[in-house]
Amino acid sequence: MAHAIWTGAISFGLVTIPVKLYSAIREHELHFKYLHRKDEGRIRYERVCSVCGEKVPWNEIARGFEVQKGDYVILDDEDFAKASPESTQSVDIVEFVDLEEIDPVLFDVPYYLEPEKRGRHAYALLRDTLASTGKVGIARVVMRTREHLSALKPRGPALVIEMMHWADEVVAPTDLEFPEPTVKLSQPELKMATALVESMTTRFDPGQFEDHYRDQLMHLIEARAQGKPAPRGKARPRAATNVVDLVDVLQKSLASARKASHKPHGRRHRAA
């Protein structure tokens, strides 16, 4: 049974819905330990002072913020406690907005909100209202002493709260170069590119994609654990498309996509 990360309530207007919060994702990332290659001993990291060169115990370690090169402001636990937001155990909805108005780059980590028995009716009312109006609730919530901006969304029978980045955390691509909107594209290019996109268009099913890199790595680990050699494929980088031959490349891609569409669909893999 899943363990509730947080217990509190959804609050908007005078409505309060008691809920429990659960993680909506399960990471499958492989974790490795650093070892001494010669004897497989674990590599440990020591806390050594850069000034005196001595090992430092935890009770002598402080957290400092560098205000300028080599100049620090040191904070203790009491300072952090003063700055911590009040833990209200509440998802406080401050406004409702259209989902399409939110830049997807702002979304971060999703969680499920499960209602307590006494709050199921109000929970269903909020869920169905959001679903029918296409709105999401923008809320503030405190988790682990940090205040988060979040979005409350309907997902099937559930309400999902998705933690969001603050606006000033999103980096604007000011130092990057992109094609100008005035770049001239020929009609044959646009026609072929549109046909290729349409020929590859299907209903999205995330279950059809697997982490190919993780699977290959697990096969290698299992083979090594059994004392067997594991064959490793060599990645072959694709050559960049020659702009001069772009229409020809699109034509060949379209023909290949149409040919593939007549074959039975196999499981597709997501590269790492």
- What average pLDDT does the segment 173-182 reach? 80
- Separation of alpha carbons 133 and 224, rounded Å: 54
Q: Are 25 and 109 in contact (CB under 8 A)?
A: yes
Instruction: Tell me the average pLDDT of the chain.
Output: 83
Q: In terms of pLDDT, which residue wins out, 256 or 165?
A: 165
> Which residue do the tokens 């990332």 mark?
29
- Separation of alpha carbons 192 and 249, rounded Å: 10
Q: What is the pLDDT of residues 200-228, one digit of tens each?
A: 888 888 788 787 777 888 888 888 778 88
pLDDT, residue 231, reads 63
Query: What secondary structure letter does DSSP report for 37?
Result: T
- Separation of alpha carbons 153 and 162, rounded Å: 8
Amino acid making up residue 110: P
Percent of all residues in the chain with a pLDDT value above 70, rounded to a whole number: 86
pLDDT, residue 96, reads 96
- Separation of alpha carbons 10 and 129, rounded Å: 15
- Separation of alpha carbons 192 and 46, rounded Å: 60
Q: What is the pLDDT of residues 112-135, one digit of tens each?
A: 999 999 999 999 999 999 999 999
Amino acid making up residue 32: F
0.85 surpassed by pTM: no
